[in-house]
Structure 1
Amino acid sequence: MHINKGKTLTQCLADRTDYAKNPDKTNSGELVSSFMCDADLVDSQFLLSKQIYLQKTGRIQKNDVIAYQLRQSFKPGEISPELANQIGYQLAEKVTKGNHAFIVATHIDKSHIHNHIIWNSTNLNCKKKFRNFWNSTKAIQKTNDLLCLQNGLSIIENPRGKSKNYGSWLEEEKPLNFSDKLRLAIDEVLAEKPENLDEFFSKMKSKGFEIKTGINLAFKGAGQRKFIRLRSLGKSYQENNLREVIEGKKEHKPQKRVRKYNDKKVNLVIDLQSKISQKKGAGYERWAKTFNLKQLAKTMNYLTENNLLNYEDLRAKAEVIINEFSRVSDSLKSAEKQMAEISILQKNIIDFAKTKAVYEDYKKSGYSSKFKEENITEILLHQAAKNYFKEVGLSKLPKMADLKIEYATLFTEKKKAYSKYNSLKKEMQEILNAKANVEQLLEFDEKEEHQQKKKAEQSL
């Protein structure tokens, strides 16, 4: 946030924080929390910290950042305002690392609950400023996703640059049928908290639905040939249940669209996210004990960032990396072997040259035992060198200068290969971990499905 043209610093801070704290959006201010500041006086306290900063440092920066803001949105009908505020507070703590005052204002005036998180650019001791960093959006996104996963909430596994509503995003992953669209519309209307059934009907009409009352309440949306009865949508959408939700007697629990695993071409990120959000099934507790949510979040991020959204792509990519790693590893071993051979050859050439004169004298002495005893070390070194040359098939010794050049070339190639080796090793570990995690989950699903099918057959 910067100072707007034609406004003062004081006005800008007040405008921004007042909008976030709007009592009409935050349940009369009950959904506003703060850290190291008073939510009611946050603009004045931010302003004071900047005055102290100027006195302490004397630094004046043109068009400086006066505060930072994050907007954090949640899927309609999936979270309570109180939990949303709590998660927003946790996210703010992780982003600011406890060095900056902040407020978290949870807005409930839209169909989707969302947070406005605003923190002071000046730190608590008024000596430094918060500095954004390159690619911070991804880092914050990962932190946010992890918090949501830990609380069993949905995340968007492949964010686009241009925002879109949840229904459009969901339809891209799997086309919505008419029942899905009706459920989603009801979820959104109930999230707006209509005061009575008439207001509920009015909001549904504004979304393009015709309504048929009578024994069975039914709706018909654009493109539908027949009305859909509420009783066909599931327990959460029964008429008596909706009435109790509207009257405030119970909380609406949207039916989650879970894509069941049926082949290895489905979107793996959707599969993994569904596994977290379901938290049910005969084997879930056993699975949860051996599977860590942080590990799962890392897997989901890896799959998304590397566009490995179906199993076959993941498997093929892993095979390519393994083969490339093996090739580089073999190349390294070959270079190291050649360098070792050159070192041994150099040593023998040096030994041969140093002991050549002594060995010539030994031959002239008629291979005298006394001479050998007096010069045993030199003679043995010379003989060992000659035997080595014979073993490796050398009839003519190479020049030492040529061997040094060859060794230096191999050393340079080895150094480059090590860099590639370490990079591929890390990449291979990442993809094999992700592949193992995915296979563990998919195997769990297959086993659970098999057990359910077996039970069904036994009951027939």
Structure 2
Amino acid sequence: MAISKILHINPHMNSETYHLKTGLNYITKSEKTMNGLYVGAVNCMVENAYECMRTTKEIYGKTDKRQAYHLIISFEEGETNPETAFEIIKEFVNRYLADNYEAVYSVHNDTNHIHGHIIWNSVRFTDGYKYRYEKGDWERQIQPLVDEICEKYGLHTLEQNKAKDDEKEWDVSKNGPFVWNEQIKKDVDECIIMATDFDMFIQMMEEKDYTIKYGKYISVKPKGMERFRRLKTLGENYSEEMIRKRISQKSIAEYKHIDMPKGLRIKSYGGHIRKKRLTGLQKQYFAILYKLKKIKKRSYSNNYKYKDDIKKLNILQKQYLFLSNYDIETMEDLEKAQELIKAKIQTTNKAKKILIEENSKHEEIFKAVKTIKKEKQAAAFYKLGDKTFEKHNNLVEEARKILKCEELTYKEAEKLETYYQSLIDECNRTIKKLKKDMRISYGILKDIRYREQKETLRHDVAKQEKITSRHDVAK
């Protein structure tokens, strides 16, 4: 299987074609291409490709902005050899670029994964038009062509590989116990990092709708699961003894390899539909119809009349959902619900405070991650030979030293930062929801008291009228 990735080469601040030259020098390095054996070109010679591309730009007066495009085609480890890979790259260039562009291509076999590079001029030598990469071209043109050529040479295609991965994921998802175990482990890990002691850990698990069963071993049952599961069966780090130890001795190493769940991505195919404008003749025609009273102006909306009613309806709906969610039937139930909400807000605030304190302990690590993320592209240019980015490269090296001291890779540190932030965000969302519920409960209480006062007033008025009528009769 071969997968492709397209990049663009932009102008350098000092020399517009500097990055183009650096890129060409990199993909044709002799130590990466068996002394130039796996290097080729179309519509130019390898030795003078840079000069040819620059001349084409000057002829058509297009020396600014995007200079070239760089396509990387990477093959699965052990699936092919350099000779076959070179033939595949060569055929792709001849079919996709040879008619209009100067291009240089090569295969690098100095790593475990054989991969190819193609750099082509952004300006066509035939008519001076620039190559235009539209969103979706990779899916519609580039990768399908790579797959077609791979299939011709007996290699797997990307679609075939995706089908195998999907089949594997489906088999795993059918294994019910495995899915529950992963979910329970994730929730236990979150509660451990937020808890200050074992009692708080149990309380937080219960707030996540877990039923806890005590015995020789602690067992839990999440909402929707049929049977209890012993925590110790989840792994050696999930026995009661280890959970207590992890709560008292939190360390970065425990959270290095926690995989954050990926959100479901929903593709939208909707687009903006432009309203068609009327021509001059159509405008005149409609003007005449309007004067003849054949058509009328659209009346204004009457929605404003129902604004207050809609607002009241929304409030009633929220109050109903609140009463239903908390199983409230009496005033005592309402007061208990308020106490429960206050306790949950207090617990969540405490957990949030602990998370912020833990997060601040690793502030230096997170600063290093931000530095690497910000400066890594500039550092890459420095490694390609551009000395103007030396300062940026030094910042990245210092940041990497900090991570090394903590025995963390960049990805692990980034994942750790994401993990802490996700837990803090979850606390914020929970607090926001609980405060909203508290406001609704106060609103219900206010309505009840208002109705009671109104009823009392009505009863007093009726009583007073009755007394007055008796006096009148007596007279």
TM over 0.5: no
TM-score, normalising length: structure 1? 0.33
TM-score, normalising length: structure 2? 0.32
